[in-house]
């Protein structure tokens, strides 16, 4: 994976598999502190302590469909490669929180990539789940909630191509206004 947005997608897919009804992606950027933090929290079924001890091992998975489970370990590796850190917290029955920090200007840091596209696509695929994106930079902050948008659209489905395009542009414009670096 060459872009952090694809790691975010992978982590959100874990939350979807974990039965979450609300998935929140928080992105914090601070140039002065040379810091990028990506946090994904969900209210899904969480992980027991046995799963938690193996979750950052490459090839660990509890899935039976596809025999590979590198999502979390690759994301951790990407963070650590930039001098950052990785942390995962989970409570069975309550939810999980995955947090990765990156050296913003580190030459090994992958670009963020198409965060807006990834959020809009997954929100359009799972309309029962509320996907929330929080962007926080030194310029200010922006919040997007797929369920709030659905309410405003009064039943117009998010997976219509023109709606998806509009939402993607809305998120991108806000990210640009907040001087979000890629
Ligand atoms: N948000 C989550 N909620 C519940 N379980 C999770 C979550 N994230 C990861 N897991 C558990 O950790 C395992 C490893 O995740 P991952 O490294 O992404 O590999 P994979 O998704 O291919 O199994 C999953 O199979 C699942 O059991
Ligand atoms: Mg995964």
What is the reported pLDDT for 66?
63
Atom of ligand 1 nearest to the CA of 88: 8
Ligand positioned closest to the Cα atom of 66? 1
**96 CA → ligand 2 middle, Å:** 13
| Domain annotation for the chain: domains and CATH numbers | 4-177 (3.30.565.10)
Atom of ligand 1 nearest to the CA of 98: 1
Tell me the pLDDT tens digit for each residue of 118-144.
999 999 999 999 999 999 999 999 999
**Cα–Cα distance between 62 and 69 in angstroms, integer?**
8
- Cα–Cα nearest to 27, from 39, 11, 43, 19: 39
Structure tokens at 73: 């370990």
Q: How far is CA 174 from CA 47, 160, 171, in A?
A: 34, 21, 5
Confirm if 7 and 78 have CB atoms less than 8 A apart.
Answer: yes
**29 CA → ligand 1 middle, Å:** 26
Ligand positioned closest to the Cα atom of 15? 1
DSSP state of 31: T
The DSSP string of 93-129 is: TTEEEEEEEEETT-TTPPP---HHHHHHHHHHH-TTS
Q: Which residue's CA is the closest to the ligand 1 atom numbered 8?
A: 14
What is the reported pLDDT for 64?
75
Query: pTM, whole model, 2 decimals?
Result: 0.95
Helix runs in the chain, H state only: 4-17, 49-54, 71-80, 115-125, 146-152, 161-177
Compare 181 and 12 and report the one with higher pLDDT: 12
What is the reported pLDDT for 172?
97
The distance from CA 133 to its chain's CA centroid, rounded to whole angstroms, is 8
- What percent of the chain has a predicted confidence (pLDDT) above 70? 97
**What is the pLDDT averaged over residues 19-45?**
98
**136 CA → ligand 1 middle, Å:** 26
| Average model confidence (pLDDT) across the chain | 94
Structure tokens at 100: 């990765």
CB-based pocket (< 6 A), ligand 1: 10, 14-15, 18, 42, 44-47, 51, 55, 60-63, 68-73, 96
Q: Which residue's CA is the closest to the ligand 1 atom numbered 19?
A: 69
Structure tokens at 168: 């993607």
**10 CA → ligand 1 middle, Å:** 9
**120 CA → ligand 2 middle, Å:** 19
- Cα–Cα nearest to 122, from 112, 133, 137: 133
């Amino acid at each position: 994976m060459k872009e952090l947005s694809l790691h975010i997608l992978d982590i959100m897919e874990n939350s979807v598999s974990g039965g979450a009804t609300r998935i929140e992606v928080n992105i914090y950027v601070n140039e002065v502190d040379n810091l990028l933090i990506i946090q994904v929290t969900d209210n899904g079924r969480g992980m027991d302590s046995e799963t938690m001890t193996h979750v950052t091992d490459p090839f660990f998975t509890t899935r039976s469909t596809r025999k590979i489970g590198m999502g979390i370990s690759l994301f951790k590796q990407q963070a650590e490669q930039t001098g950052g850190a990785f942390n995962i917290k989970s409570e069975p029955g309550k939810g999980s929180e995955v947090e990765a920090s990156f050296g913003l200007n580190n030459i090994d840091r992958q670009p963020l990539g198409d965060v807006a596209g990834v959020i809009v696509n997954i929100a359009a695929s799972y309309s029962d789940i509320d996907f929330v994106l929080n962007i926080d930079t030194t310029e200010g902050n922006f919040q997007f909630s797929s369920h709030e948008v659905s309410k405003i659209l009064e039943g117009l489905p998010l997976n219509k191509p023109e709606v998806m395009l509009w939402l993607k542009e809305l998120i991108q414009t806000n990210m640009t206004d907040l001087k979000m670096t890629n």
